Amino acid sequence: MDNSEEIYKAKLERLETTTAVKEPDRVPIAINTTYFPAKYAGISYHEMFYNNKKYIEAMAKFARDFNWDAYNSLRSFETVPLGLALAGYDPDLAIGAAVSSVLAGGMAHDILHDVYSSNPGREVGENVESQFVIDTPVMNANEYDDLIKQPFEYLMKTVIPRAYKNLANLDSPTGVGTLLKMGQEIAKFPAFFTEFIGRMKQEAWLPWYLALTPNPLDFIGAWLRDFDTLTLDLYRMPDKVKAACKTLAPVLAAVGKLTGKISQDTTGSRRVFCPTWYNTYLSPEQYREFHLPYIKIIVNELVEAGFTPLLCFQGRMDHLLDTLKEFPEKKVILWFDKTDLSKVKEVVGDKYCIAGGVLSSLLISGTPNLIKKHIKETIDKYKSNGGYIVTTEFNGMGDAKLENVKAMTEAVMEYGKY
């Protein structure tokens, strides 16, 4: 066994032990870096987004030089609706379509001309992070029944032509040609994925997450209606929103399990990324009515299948902390964006693994000495009995100073030991 394999196994064990709220040898550090490895490697965001060779080299360099317990830098999510539309036809093809933009870069965006994303070197500057937002809903208010009754058919016949400009007419030469081009790109993905995983394993790299699945309400808000419009739907047609969420929940749970198996088979990681975006804007009553029940369906199915839901509560969760105790104890990771971890700890105690503690503002405007002081205080506060992972906000690395990232890393290695 070479040294990288030993380090790799140690990282796996460290994260598994921490997830179970037991004391590992050291507090883990695991972060979603977005485009920071590009900056570190001296390439543009555009190159990292579109050049797979440079993407792999930048990722490998960062993994080798920082040696974190886990990190990832995924690229975009515009093909998720296309993948979900195909799920009723061929699950393997569906997953290939859904993850082709997440890992394999910007070609899907160029081929499909989606309405969701603005990418580096295309709609935005070469060193501007990709943006993801719907300008106009691709699902109308009177179409909930179609989504509820025949979700796959509705997505393919109605949503896909609206979401992807080059698929606006599936019977046209442009539509057929686009599908063929997309098929060619998806066919390249297995070879790229094998090369990527093999190269990264040489550097003892472990993904913070590789598998992923959205939840129903956030899927409707992010990819179908937009969140402002969905907010009105909660008042105008609450029963239809809940019925749509009920329809989507088992489908999205299946996505999580399928991608979870890929992750576990190739990297050993059982974590499945389960982001929650809309929590900040819902009252406790709305959250319990429209959001939590369907998140729990997905989480419980993943846990029963042997996976670890990585619940990423983006924005603020302070008004919803009592709901955290409804997730399986010592089986999930609770990752917080801007929520006060002290308040979280008061609620969940030593029964859940928590992740967070590093604000992007600190990495951007702080100093190395300030970073080290903060990391020491944070680790001392939360590491007792295990169950704490140092991480940043979901997209907390963007404009961070290199010296601050190095200071954070050094502080975890120095002060994180048990």
C-beta atoms surrounding 14 within 10 Å: 22
Q: Which two tokens stand for residue 289?
A: 């009515």
Expressed as residue numbers, the domain containing 195 is 77-204
> What is residue 396's predicted lDDT score, i.e. its pLDDT?
72
Residue 356 main-chain phi, psi, to 5 deg: 145, -155
Instruction: Report which residue type is found at 277.
Output: W
The reply to whether 290 falls in a domain is no
The reply to whether 51 falls in a domain is no
> What is residue 244's predicted lDDT score, i.e. its pLDDT?
98
Q: Which two tokens stand for residue 48?
A: 């990292």
Q: Which two tokens stand for residue 286?
A: 């709305």
The reply to whether 115 falls in a domain is yes
The reply to whether 100 falls in a domain is yes
The reply to whether 36 falls in a domain is no
- For helices 238-267 and 292-304, give the axis angle rounded to 10 degrees: 30
**Neighbouring-strand partners of residue 279:** none
Residue with tokens 């997505």: 155
The reply to whether 396 falls in a domain is no
The reply to whether 147 falls in a domain is yes
> What is residue 2's predicted lDDT score, i.e. its pLDDT?
65
Helix/strand/coil (H, E, C) string of 119-163? CECCCECCCCCCEECCCCCCCCHHHHHHHHHCHHHHHHHHHHHHH
315 by Cβ neighbours in 10 Å (0-12 / 13-18 / 19+) ranks as: middle
- CB-CB contact of 70 with 15 (8 Å): yes
**Neighbouring-strand partners of residue 355:** 335, 389
Per-residue tens of pLDDT for the chain, all 418 residues: 469 999 999 999 999 999 999 999 999 999 999 889 999 999 999 999 899 999 999 999 999 999 999 999 877 788 889 999 998 888 888 888 887 766 667 888 999 999 998 999 999 999 998 888 888 899 999 999 999 999 999 999 999 999 999 999 989 999 999 999 998 888 888 899 999 999 999 999 999 999 999 999 999 999 999 999 999 999 999 999 999 999 999 999 999 999 999 999 999 999 999 999 999 999 999 999 999 999 999 999 999 999 999 999 999 999 999 999 999 999 999 999 999 999 999 999 999 999 999 998 999 999 999 999 999 999 999 999 899 999 999 877 878 999 999 999 999 999 999 9
CA dihedral 133, 355, 62, 34 (to 10 degrees): 10
Q: H or E element: which one contains 334?
A: strand 333-336
- Give the residue among 307, 416, 309, 410 at the shortest CA–CA distance from 14: 416
- CB-CB contact of 116 with 223 (8 Å): yes
How far apart are alpha carbons 246 and 251 in whole angstroms?
Answer: 10
The reply to whether 231 falls in a domain is no
C-beta atoms surrounding 184 within 10 Å: 11
- CB-CB contact of 338 with 358 (8 Å): no
Domain count, the chain: 1
How far apart are alpha carbons 131 and 125 in whole angstroms?
Answer: 11
